[in-house]
A and B are shown apart, each in its own frame.
Chain A
Amino acid sequence: MLVTWKYRPRDTFIQRLDPRTRFIVLLCTIFALTIPEIWDYRFMIPLFLFSLTQFVLARIEWKEMRRTLFFVFILVFFIIGLNGLLSGRGGPSAALDPNSPIIYQALIPGTVWGITITISKLWFAMTQVLRILAMALPAIAIPYTLDPNIYGTAFKRMGASDKVSFTMDLALRFLPTFSRDLTITVDAQRARGYEVEKLKGGFVEKIRKLAPLIIPVTMQSTVTGEEVIDAMDLRAFDTAPRTWLKELHYAPRDYFMIGLGVVIFLACCILKWGFGIGGFFVPDFFTKFILG
């Protein structure tokens, strides 16, 4: 059985928005940053603040989301940020500017490879973190502040087919179900003396030693998936055009937010493609600050 996120109703501006508005504004933010490939901090900071405002307005309590935020920040800062800093890849080619001043250089001990950190790589890593957070913050708030009973309806009313809408509904509930199954399996294996924190060996060996967790959880997920399909078949899913009982209605605040999202998207496109503003560059104040 699929479980849901720790959602609870709150009387906040964000929760009063139509769920479609939340998804549309999120998509506008993501598209504004990705389609015209915006890397300019002057665009990025307002967009980050726009996302942060939505996140704060959701009024999720710290204790509710501290674990989620911990994992997200680990991912964003240490994986995406560090990757940007060390490799400079995953973004515009300007981040790899060979003329950018080097601020740190070293050989990896025991190898022929070296690490070179330039000012443009450092700036790129910071921009990348800000960019990802601008896209992630409204999404992180969704599970806590969007009623799971209207996931499917929201996608249907946005024009998706019955099948896609219900698939999205199930997919959004899959992660907490996976988390529940993982907790049970971790407990079951810990009771057999298995200690994740004491795994030995290199990276590949450590991954291999996660099999006692990965295999049972994968099996459970497969079984759950098959059960859901049987249960839906037995109740005539996808045999006729479906009636979606829940109705959604836009309010003026929804039009305002969607309008804002669309304006942001169009502005980014026009400024980038029409005026050539919005690409990657390292501002002088940053170079001066680093080089003293």
Chain B
Amino acid sequence: MSQSPLVIENLSFQYRTRPEKAIDNISFELKPGELLLIAGSSGCGKTTLARCINGLIPRSYKGERAGKLLLHGRDVSEMKIADVAQTVGTLLQDPERQIVASNVYNEVAFGPENLGLPREEILSRVDAAMKRLRIEHLLERETFNLSGGEKQKVALAGLLSMNPSILLLDEPLASLDPASAHEALEVFRSLADEGKTVVLIEHRVEDAIFAKPDRLLYMEAGQVKYLGSIESLPTAINHREVKLPAEWVVKRVRQAGEMPPRVEPAAQEARGEALVAFENVDFRYSDETPLILQNVNLQINRGDLIAALGPNGAGKSTLVKHAIGLLKPTSGRVLVEGKDTKSMSVAQIAHLLGFVFQSPTHMLFAPTVREELEFGPKNLEMDSLSIPRLVSESLATVNLKGLEEYPPLGLSFGQQKRTTIAAVLAMQSKIMIMDEPTAGQDYSNYTHFMDAMCKPAGGRKSLVAENFAATLFITHDVDLAVTYANRVLLFGDKHIVADGKPEVVLKDFDLLTKYRVRPTSLLRMNLSLLSKTKRFLTAEALAAYA
């Protein structure tokens, strides 16, 4: 174990089914206690590199591999999977994908049990891992009842109990609320300080630098574009591909001489009529269960583009399910265009309100994209002659023209997400609600997606403004609220604790922190320049004022 924990020399890999190399000629070496941040957009090869490091390539994914990958001097392809598992602990993007046992104790013990270790040794390892992450209080809990942050800590404890010298963390912040993400980054840094070699794969560089990475490896098209100190990241690295702190973006835009034009302050728009109204809404699933919503009062008005923020379990999804009629209030009422949802079927409400679920795989089923889009209008018994036009227009709107006869489940994740939006567009609902629209997408993809949806372009209103009277999206990403919303709802303690313009709600840092929403560099910079800008802007646009 005296040799470098990880040495990669001229590593290339090409999947059997792909015409090009997924990674090409990668070389680097890591020392004990080093934290390496690997960044790059989707398809840059970082997941393939991770699979090479944890041994899934060549065991589970077949293809042509060249070069060397040594773990403590031993070639990974010649090691038994049990040895690799004890050397490299892999934390997957979504802890839910990693957890296999039904309670925390079994989950943390799962790896050592698989190694056939003596009982006393397993107990000692479980105890040490739980103490190390300060989660002893979770020991008897059921895994599926844990919060996102707790699940990740339990998944990490499951790795630490295997006592690996290398931790491979594959986009570990993706499913966490901002406060949990920063707690996780603190843990990763401390593990590196204790001598573990940490490989952190993350496209949200702004967040990842909180873990004080020793070096950054930036990949593009399967190759290393940059490997070095994070502070001296060259301007050649595109800030549209990975999420950098706002100050860095501004500096790079100015250095590149791409000074953006100043933006006109947003016009003061009068509040439109109420489309959805919540009146003193309480909700619980049964008499024995606690309240999930308590005294919620809210109006969604014409012209609103609302970002709903708040911690997991605060009731955001429960609230929007009331709007669509999937849930009915225990007390109080929900009105959609003046009608009580208790007297309406979900199908009737769907005429007015389209709901895009978080995961496209929960919605998509049809053999072709065209049939998928026809499904909603047919259910709503819309005029059959107009359905082909609606389908065609919806596909054009989300830029999926030409894919009409493709199977939706065969499309990329981003395309699937756009198909679900098109499916709602084709129903001609007045209001669109999206649950975590950027979940599962990397920074570059989700920025393109949200720009296409919510940003005015070419003198025209945004896609959502043109097609819907109001839009609401649930998100953990404060910067989405800063960049795209004209109204922010902050959830906490089972009700809405703040509701107003982004510039008003998001300036109360104490309130944000109380409800696990962490102010970002973009928010801070926007607030500091608000007297000049009169509105919240993207980091690039702020370069004209900074």
Contact = CB atoms under 8 A, between A and B. Distances in A.
B346 A190 contact: yes
Nearest to B82: A239
Given A1-B99, A188-B362, A194-B375, 18 more contacts: A149-B101, A173-B102, A185-B363, A190-B347, A193-B427, A214-B365, A216-B361, A230-B56, A230-B97, A231-B97, A236-B85, A236-B111, A236-B114, A239-B114, A240-B114, A240-B116, A243-B116, A243-B119
Contact of A192 (B54, B143, B379): B379
A115 B123 CA distance: 65
B90 A234 contact: yes
B122 interface: yes
Contact of B362 (A184, A227, A228): A184
B318 to A, nearest CB: 12
B326 A187 contact: yes
A231 B97 CA distance: 7
A249 interface: no
Nearest to A198: B347
B468 to A, nearest CB: 15
A236 B82 CA distance: 5
**10 smallest A-B Cβ distances: which pairs?**
A193-B379, A1-B96, A239-B82, A215-B365, A236-B85, A235-B111, A191-B355, A192-B376, A240-B116, A236-B82
A191 B354 contact: yes
Nearest to A180: B144
Contacts of A245: 106, 109, 113, 119, 122-123
B56 A234 contact: yes
A211 interface: yes
Interface string B50-93: 00001010011000000000000000000011100110001010
Given A228-B100, A230-B60, A239-B80, A195 B379 contact: yes
B85 to A, nearest CB: 4
A245 B126 CA distance: 11
Contact of A216 (B90, B122, B365, B427): B365
Contacts of A185: 362-363
Given A191-B350, A194-B375, A1 B143 contact: yes
Contacts of A223: 361
B411 interface: no
A212 interface: yes
A194 B379 contact: yes
Interface of B: 54, 56, 59-60, 80-82, 85-86, 90, 92, 96-103, 105-106, 109-119, 122-123, 142-144, 158-159, 162, 321, 324, 326, 345-347, 350-351, 354-355, 357, 361-366, 375-376, 379-380, 409, 423-424, 427
B430 to A, nearest CB: 14
Contacts of B357: 184, 187-188, 191
Contacts of A234: 54, 56, 85, 90, 98
A130 to B, nearest CB: 33
Nearest to A212: B365
A2 B361 contact: no
9 contacts: A187-B321, A188-B362, A191-B355, A192-B376, A223-B361, A231-B97, A240-B116, A242-B116, A245-B109
Contacts of A230: 56, 60, 92, 97
Nearest to A173: B102
A231 B99 contact: yes
A45 B470 CA distance: 64
Contacts of B86: 236
B113 A243 contact: yes
Contacts of A149: 101-103, 105-106
A231 B109 CA distance: 14
Contact of A2 (B100, B105, B158, B364): B100
A189 interface: yes
A194 B427 CA distance: 12
A244 B113 contact: yes
Question: Residue among A170, A234, A236 with the most chain B CB within 10 A?
Answer: A234
Contacts of B379: 192-195
A101 B90 CA distance: 71
A240 to B, nearest CB: 4
Given A227-B97, A231-B92, A233-B60, A220 B362 contact: yes
A3 B98 contact: no
A4 B116 contact: no
B82 A192 contact: no
Contacts of A238: 114
Contacts, number: 159
B490 to A, nearest CB: 25
A248 interface: no
A216 B115 contact: no
A241 interface: yes
A19 interface: no
A233 B99 CA distance: 12
A35 interface: no
A143 to B, nearest CB: 12
A188 B317 CA distance: 13
Contact of B347 (A193, A214, A228): A193
Contacts of B158: 235
Contacts of B365: 211-216
Contacts of B114: 232, 235-240, 242
A4 B144 contact: yes
Interface in A147-194: 148-149, 170, 173, 181, 184-185, 187-194
Contacts of A215: 364-365, 409
A207 to B, nearest CB: 14
A112 interface: no
Contacts of B364: 215-216
A219 interface: yes
B380 to A, nearest CB: 4
B122 A235 contact: no
Contacts of B142: 4
A189 B116 contact: no
A192 B99 contact: no
A235 B162 contact: yes
Given A1-B143, A232-B100, A235-B114, A191 B119 contact: no
Contacts of B109: 245
A243 B117 contact: yes
Question: Residue among A173, A237, A244 with the most chain B CB within 10 A?
Answer: A237
Contacts of B112: 243
Contacts of A212: 365-366, 375
Contacts of A195: 345-347, 379
Contacts of B119: 243, 245
Contacts of A231: 92, 97-100
B144 A192 contact: no
Interface string A48-71: 000000000000000000000000
B363 A216 contact: yes
A1 B142 CA distance: 12
A10 to B, nearest CB: 15
Contacts of A189: 363
Contacts of A232: 100, 114
Contacts of A233: 56, 59-60, 81
Nearest to B116: A240
A178 B536 CA distance: 43
A3 B80 CA distance: 31
Contacts of B92: 230-231
Nearest to B347: A193
A153 B355 CA distance: 43
A234 B324 CA distance: 41
A185 B358 CA distance: 11
